[in-house]
Structure 1
Amino acid sequence: MRRLSAVLVLFLCASASAQQADIKVHVDQPTVELSPHLYGLFFEDINFSADGGLYAELVQNRSFEYYPIPGWNPLSERYHALSSWEKVERDGAECEIAAEKGIPLNRNNPTYLTVAIRRAGQGAGVKNQGWSGIRLDEGQEYRVSLYSRWESRRGAPLTVTLVDQDGHECGSAELPASGADWRQAEAVIKSDRTTDDASLVVTTTGRGKLCLDMVSLFPSNTFKGHKNGLREDLAQSLADLNPKFFRFPGGCIAHGHSLQNAYRWKDTVGDVAERRPNWNRWGYHQTYGLGYFEYFQLCEDIGAHPLPVVPVGVSCGFNQPYQCVPLDELHTWVQDALDLIEFANGPADSTWGKVRAEMGHPEPFNMEFVCLGNEEHDTPEFAERFPYFVEAIRKAYPDIKIIGTSGLSPSIPLYRQMQRLNVYSSDEHYYESPEWFVQNQDRFDDFDRDAPKIFVGEYASRGNRLVNAIGEAAYLTGVERNGDIVDMACYAPLLADVHNTQWTAANLIHFDKRNLVKTPNYHVQQLFAQNKGDVFLQTEIDQSVDEADLPSYAGAVGMGTWSTAAEVRNAKLNGEPLDPADWTPHGGKFNAKDGALRQADRDAQGVISVSTAEAPAKAVYEFEARKLGGAEGVLMVFGCEDPENYFWWNIGGWGNTQHAIEQCVDGVKHSLVETRGSIEADRWYKLRVETEPGRIRCYLDDKLVHDYQEQGPRVSVSSTLDKQAGEVILKLVNPTGYEVAADVSIDGAKVKAGEVDATLLTGAPGDDNSIDNPDNVAPVEKEVTVGDRFQLTLPPSSLQVLRLPVE
């Protein structure tokens, strides 16, 4: 078995006997009020979440604006104007299809398709298979629309047919002939069969040159019945999460791959035929049919505050070359942010409020928040540009709450800047292991209460197994305990097409064209959002943990480097010399000579070499190390089970600015403890790590740098009061591999004794859900006898929710 960490080991190897926990809730001792909009959603067009997903359009490349995206990936480079289209020649018909730009529909939609028909036969034209086949349901109606014109001879009527993969007609409609000018035609087709592999076919028996653009097919049963609407089941699954805010249109997608294809909201509103399509940060095209109006409309439909993200004049820091809008051009980007607020909230006779009104919503959307930027890097260019947006919005719209950005990773590198600018809240993002979430549930306990509030705008534990969901649940108990400073939180990413997924680490909802899968993480998010409460109650938890349940750091030892060349000598384990010639390298350029080991590649990142000797649970591991050159320091590896599961002491990490104990679980690293520090090049240092169950001590030149102690995995509890319902809400998380017998006491109020329904989410840690088995992990209801004091069993790897009526 791999040594994954205390938490996961306990998941997989349950103790034979149950542990005991005493939980006391003081109803008469409220601590902090929870934000009324604490839990929400984050949507980004990643994993084909919009076109082909939430956006209900069934035709792919409907406006013929696809083109190759060079340098992204082979799939992106195969895009072209006729992607997903092919010609149709029936019974003697002869034609050729092409993409042209001669007389476009409009300047934002310059490309259209032409069908040059030499012989009409029984019909010449084109067909589209959508996203690997169009889903049809028997008895359902579908709205078809298109623009057409004829360039030669008199126009002829068009026939639009839905056919299955065997060529059987599922339904059809006739559209009238157009002339030399672009003309839109619409019809409704009822399908007489169910299939997932249909095509839309447009044909004519006329001759000459037929031009087509904006060929569209929508199911009539979109969410809330909106035209240009959303896929009903996916949108309903979002509504069922009870979100109080909706962050859109994304994170990195807001930047684009560069400033040239950054997300500009004005391109996404107005008539869908006049919106300017774009390709996105994830390497595929987007129609912007799902645009800012549709996002605001969805927020209104599901009762969520709109939370738009706008770019702030710098490109994505993860893409090179890094780009910045020149300061003398920045005003247009700032004005975009101001115009967005007018579009959302302005009167119907204002410039952008009029656009909203013409789209069918004269009343304002009552937007209260705006997010400025996303995961920007800590650069002088960002620091110079960001304040322009803050100043302009505060001057024009002082009631709008500005949400800044803390940057990526738990270290929140931009938070100090956000403090200086005194934004309403600051957006922090991290994707860590489930162990990190369990170990960091007290993250916000010591945050400055006079600083900006915290928006946990993107987080996930890099997986959709139950172990991941329970880790996130433990973390959310800490979020609620700190509800005075954590104002909003949302999981990310939200949606993923199972056949077109770029972000494979974790996604909340998986789908194909007919099905959706609610992950265990989804159920955790839903249970917390539906059972939040108004105030957090003082809670005491007394749980003993046996020494056998403490984490063991036993395993192989070794050394490594990150963007650095270094060497070590005099390696010893419990006083016994180790010969580096017997060590196994994993990457890099390692060379053992005369009892020393050198790694010479300054560019190699995270490479290690591991000894054949294994340390017991209590051990002293030491060596001397010297940095030879490069950006960082030396890595002292211990507790190693394999090249993707180990601990290391990182001396001089993060550009030679910090020392940290880190853990790597299945290739994903997270910090257990960090401190400022650096090392010099060409100087020998004495390094020593001492381990025992639940404790790691690290010494640099015999000086103690870290003394990390872990008490072992324990139950986590959130106790809140729902004032209107008169109920105490208990959310109890057991992230261990053993059963916990809980003795629950309610003080300061009288519990109405009797049976209550409890919701339980549990299973094996590695369990997940799939298209074939979507309910493998799902909440179940059970009855629990409650009173002022009662006993409750907390199964291994579980979340349990109870609502207790109190007087």
Structure 2
Amino acid sequence: MRSHRRSGGRLALASAALAALTAALVVAPTEPPAAARAQAADYSISVDPAGEGPAIDDSMYGVFYEDINHAADGGLYAELVQNRSFEYDPADNRAYTPLTAWQETASGAASGTARVMDDDGRLNERNRRYLRLDLDGGDGRFGVANSGYNAGIAVRAGRTYDFSVWARTDRPAGTPLGVELRDGTTPLGTALRVTARGDRWTKYTGTLTARTSSDAGRLAVTAGGSGTVRLDMVSLFPRDTYKGRPNGLREDLAEKIAALQPGFLRFPGGCLVNTGSHEAYEAPDFERKRSYQWKDTIGPVEQRPVNANFWGYNQTYGLGYYEYFQYAEDIGAMALPVVPALVTGCGQNRATDDPELLRRHIQDTLDLIEFANGPVTSTWGRKRARMGHPRPFGLTHLEVGNEENLPDQFFARFTEFREAIEAKHPDITVISNSGPDDSGATFDRAWQLNRDAKVAMVDEHYYNSPQWFLENNERYDAYDRQGPKVFLGEYASLDNRFSNALAEAAYMTGLERNADVVKLASYAPLLADTNDAQWRPNMIWFDNATSWGSASYETQKLFMNNVGDEVVPSRASGTPAASGPVTGAVGLSTWATAAAYDDVSVTSADGANLFADDFSGDDSRWTRAAGTGSWSVRDGAYVQSDAAAENTLVTAGDPTWHDYDLKLKATKQSGKEGFLIAFGVKDTGTYYWWNLGGWNNTRSVVEKAVGGAKQTLIERGTTIESGRTYDVKVQVRGRQVTLFLDGQEWGSFTDDKAAEPFRQVVTRDKATDELVVKVVNAQDAAARTTIDLGEDTDIASSRARLTTLQGAPDAVNTPTDQPIRPRRSTLGGVDNTFTYTFPAHSVTFMRIRTG
């Protein structure tokens, strides 16, 4: 993540699920309504049944899991108590205190004090803080109540909840503890009573059964009498975790992921893997902001340390490597862990030069393989067995590093990991990566290093506009068939509308067509708490009480459940491309920078003056939205003076302009970055801009924005100096753009890729003797299509099974309304050649049984 699927063994499950769902799903019409037919455009698909396409691995489509958007604590990890061990700290989030999510509570005449302690009375060295309740006596009870995550603990009538707490007391007779679920002061069920005895830490357990439902529940733990009682690891789990496992997973989220039938599970994340300190946990002066290190996450949960998550919150490690391996096994997915390469990424860009630290991490990685695959007689295999899994997990793939921006430094360290792993475990596929983007200097250098070293597989990550995905369906057609294979570990179109899912679906037809190169692919991110998300888009959204799949989830599920075993060669006609020059007004902007612009002029290709402003007057010719920085004319220049404001775009001119030269002078005054020079501006979400000194003044690129989502067209390593005036020129000729900085050509590009809305791929499902014709029609018009299956194809049935996703391009699935959902139907009249009209804005899977 940037600070940015099956046949064979799964066939029976897929077929059973399909049969069970068919009756419950809306039946789609076999033809679009008359209005759509009237607008239909003609296409053709020709299938070559005798041709040989690439085989598709069962593991091709999988899921990428990262603890972003509160995906673990408060999400997939079923623990209902937030800050259960009182370890929250401002290092995790400046708003945190050790009592975040806790409140004192008292009944009757009871009183006392609640203090979080960090002293020799702690539970253990890795779980350092605990709650001390000093009780003043009197009738009634005093203690604390936990609000869970966000609005409260979701409690359901009739459900059972497993409670546990570690406690100790200085009272010889013991201290009675009361535990109950409440909504305000109203009990939601019968209270639990336990008595803490002795001044040594002891674990106490019990169950609570709810009589009333609430989405705003609180867990109250109170004590009676006097004296001191200490509490730690206050925990509440629903009894109904996924597969009923203790310390388990939230059932609805785990089931939605399992329903994808993923071929692999990549974990524990992206940026949180290789950011922060790579040092080991050392009490008492441990570094909270550490990279994710697997040994911290196994063993008894009360002995696992916490960490400050890269995404700005506390991370408990209750969901750790053992649980990831176990979940992958439960859902039939290949486990694919990622370990840090000791080169930070995600904007940090530092390489660790300590050879001993590097040796330790390499050994940790070898120990991880032993933990996954070693016999019970081995050191780490024995630890796995003691956690409840004597049988090896069968690890086959492991990735080193994630999105490093320093390719040479990364690859030097990757090579040491790779050599050590392959020396002891030659059967393990060691995966490298190509940085955080789909192109650019880092990408090119990383790929060169990977090719030269004959690395087995390279992980690519990119998040782009829907336009980019429609334009780049052929991306992998030109990849070297003899070179490293591709693991597309993170990709998504930048929103959660159905139009985004359509663009992703169109792109996935290209992934399948190139299944001999793209061996693994996973959309990202997987999970997001709707109340506290760092990133959008996401596949599955949730709150405390419910969860729902986005439009992209439904698209991914359709592809992942209908992969097939091999690609059948096919061809389709295309959509006539609209032609015309780059057209639009011009603009100026900044990002976390104060800058001054002067002498802006626009002249047509024939020399005619279209616009000029030397800022000797006011700024009345410029248009800006409210809240976009602080612009004013000062000393004959147009100055944006707010060095903290982001995207301060102001525009001028005519959106019909084309074939022109934009010239100006730009001076950085202060701040983190440089200049943003816009051209081809249609509106505030659709434009090109030359981003000089972006990404904290480390990169300069030209970006194209369509509907607010951007893609990179060209990149250079230019940085911008403060106080220096630059001469900037943008020359637009047709679709060709040439850029000049201080009179020298900086770069050029031709934006002439067609955003093809009609895409298809055909695969063969050998187990069911079916051709699976997969068609994406991402346009306003229906696509009347002649489908030629070849005269030698033996059609076993004249009826095909259809699954269709269709909806408005702006449709978004919500907790109360999911307009994008599969609709199943049958199509009659199927023959070697037949016609079908694919609805506008649709994804259609057509399963045709052959002899």
Same fold (TM over 0.5): yes
C-alpha separation between the residues in 2 aligned to 1:115 and 1:718?
A: 65
C-alpha separation between the residues in 1 aligned to 2:640 and 2:236?
A: 59
Deviations 1:73-130 (A, max 9, x none): xxx2232222222223221112111112331111111211111111141323222221
Q: Within 5 A, what are the aligned runs for 1:588-599?
A: none
The corresponding residue for 1:243 is: 262
Deviations 1:614-670 (A, max 9, x none): 435xx4212557788999999774431223321357799999999976421244321
C-alpha separation between the residues in 1 aligned to 2:346 and 2:701?
A: 24
C-alpha separation between the residues in 2 aligned to 1:177 and 1:593?
A: 75
Q: Does 1:531 align with 2:562?
A: yes
Q: Does 1:140 align with 2:179?
A: no
The corresponding residue for 2:398 is: 370
Report how far residue 204 of structure 1 moved.
3.0
C-alpha separation between the residues in 2 aligned to 1:713 and 1:551?
A: 16
Q: Residue 386 of structure 1 aligns to a residue in which SS?
A: helix
TM-score, with length taken from structure 2: 0.84
C-alpha separation between the residues in 2 aligned to 1:338 and 1:450?
A: 29
Deviations 1:159-206 (A, max 9, x none): 222223242251222224321211111112222222222222222333
Report how far residue 315 of structure 1 moved.
2.7
Q: Residue 659 of structure 2 aligns to a residue in which SS?
A: strand
1:23 to 42, 45, 54: 45
Q: Residue 470 of structure 1 aligns to a residue in which SS?
A: helix
Percent identity of paired positions between Structure 1 and Structure 2? 37
1:332 to 353, 356, 360: 360
C-alpha separation between the residues in 1 aligned to 2:178 and 2:673?
A: 67
C-alpha separation between the residues in 2 aligned to 1:186 and 1:551?
A: 71
Conserved in 2, the CA contact under 8 Å of 1:41 and 1:245? yes
Q: Does 1:728 align with 2:760?
A: no
Report how far residue 306 of structure 1 moved.
0.5
Q: Does 1:157 align with 2:190?
A: no
C-alpha separation between the residues in 2 aligned to 1:394 and 1:754?
A: 52
2:473 to 430, 438, 441: 441
The number of residue pairs the alignment matches comes to 778
1:207 to 196, 220, 226: 226
C-alpha separation between the residues in 2 aligned to 1:128 and 1:662?
A: 47
1:316 to 322, 345, 356: 345
Conserved in 1, the CA contact under 8 Å of 2:702 and 2:715? no
Letter in 1 for 2:234: V
C-alpha separation between the residues in 1 aligned to 2:291 and 2:717?
A: 38
Unaligned runs of 5+ in 1: 1-12, 71-75
The corresponding residue for 1:456 is: 488
Report how far residue 34 of structure 1 moved.
1.8
Letter in 1 for 2:514: N
Unaligned runs of 5+ in 2: 1-34, 279-286, 614-619
Deviations 1:40-92 (A, max 9, x none): 0011111111111111111111111112127xxxxx22322222222232211
Q: Does 1:94 align with 2:82?
A: no
The corresponding residue for 1:55 is: 77
The corresponding residue for 1:73 is: none
**Quick one: structure 1 residues 656 and 284, their matched pair in 2 at CA, closer, same or farther if it must change by over 3 Å?**
closer
Q: CA RMSD in A?
A: 3.4
C-alpha separation between the residues in 1 aligned to 2:343 and 2:693?
A: 30
Report how far residue 802 of structure 1 moved.
0.9
Conserved in 2, the CA contact under 8 Å of 1:590 and 1:609? no
Letter in 2 for 1:343: F
Conserved in 2, the CA contact under 8 Å of 1:20 and 1:543? no
The corresponding residue for 1:180 is: 199
**Quick one: structure 1 residues 299 and 424, their matched pair in 2 at CA, closer, same or farther if it must change by over 3 Å?**
same
C-alpha separation between the residues in 2 aligned to 1:207 and 1:608?
A: 64
Instruction: Name whichever of 384-393 and 518-527 sits farther off.
Output: 384-393
C-alpha separation between the residues in 1 aligned to 2:192 and 2:698?
A: 68
Conserved in 2, the CA contact under 8 Å of 1:42 and 1:246? yes
The corresponding residue for 1:269 is: 298
Conserved in 1, the CA contact under 8 Å of 2:275 and 2:346? no
The corresponding residue for 2:18 is: none
Deviations 1:334-382 (A, max 9, x none): 1111111111111112111111100000000001111111111125543
1:78 to 95, 99, 104: 95
Q: Does 1:513 align with 2:544?
A: yes
Report how far residue 679 of structure 1 moved.
13
Q: Residue 475 of structure 2 aligns to a residue in which SS?
A: coil
Conserved in 2, the CA contact under 8 Å of 1:727 and 1:805? yes
Report how far residue 397 of structure 1 moved.
1.2
TM-score, with length taken from structure 1: 0.89
Conserved in 1, the CA contact under 8 Å of 2:602 and 2:662? yes
Letter in 2 for 1:140: R
Q: Residue 768 of structure 1 aligns to a residue in which SS?
A: coil
Letter in 2 for 1:766: D
Q: Within 5 A, what are the aligned runs for 1:204-603?
A: 204-259=223-278, 260=287, 261-319=290-348, 322=350, 324=352, 326-378=354-406, 380-411=408-439, 412-413=443-444, 414-503=446-535, 505-545=536-576, 549-550=578-579, 553-557=582-586, 571-573=602-604, 575=606, 576-581=608-613, 584=622
Report how far residue 279 of structure 1 moved.
1.8
Q: Residue 430 of structure 1 aligns to a residue in which SS?
A: strand
Letter in 1 for 2:128: P
Letter in 2 for 1:584: W
Conserved in 2, the CA contact under 8 Å of 1:257 and 1:280? no
Letter in 1 for 2:341: V
C-alpha separation between the residues in 1 aligned to 2:527 and 2:243?
A: 20
Q: Within 5 A, what are the aligned runs for 1:7-22?
A: 17-22=39-44
C-alpha separation between the residues in 1 aligned to 2:529 and 2:345?
A: 24
**Quick one: structure 1 residues 585 and 591, their matched pair in 2 at CA, closer, same or farther if it must change by over 3 Å?**
farther
Letter in 2 for 1:448: D
Report how far residue 559 of structure 1 moved.
6.6
**Quick one: structure 1 residues 335 and 84, their matched pair in 2 at CA, closer, same or farther if it must change by over 3 Å?**
same
Q: Does 1:114 align with 2:132?
A: yes
**Quick one: structure 1 residues 611 and 232, their matched pair in 2 at CA, closer, same or farther if it must change by over 3 Å?**
same
Q: Residue 206 of structure 1 aligns to a residue in which SS?
A: strand
C-alpha separation between the residues in 1 aligned to 2:511 and 2:551?
A: 19
Deviations 1:411-464 (A, max 9, x none): 125222222332221111111111111111111111122221111111111111
Deviations 1:253-282 (A, max 9, x none): 112444441111111101111111112101
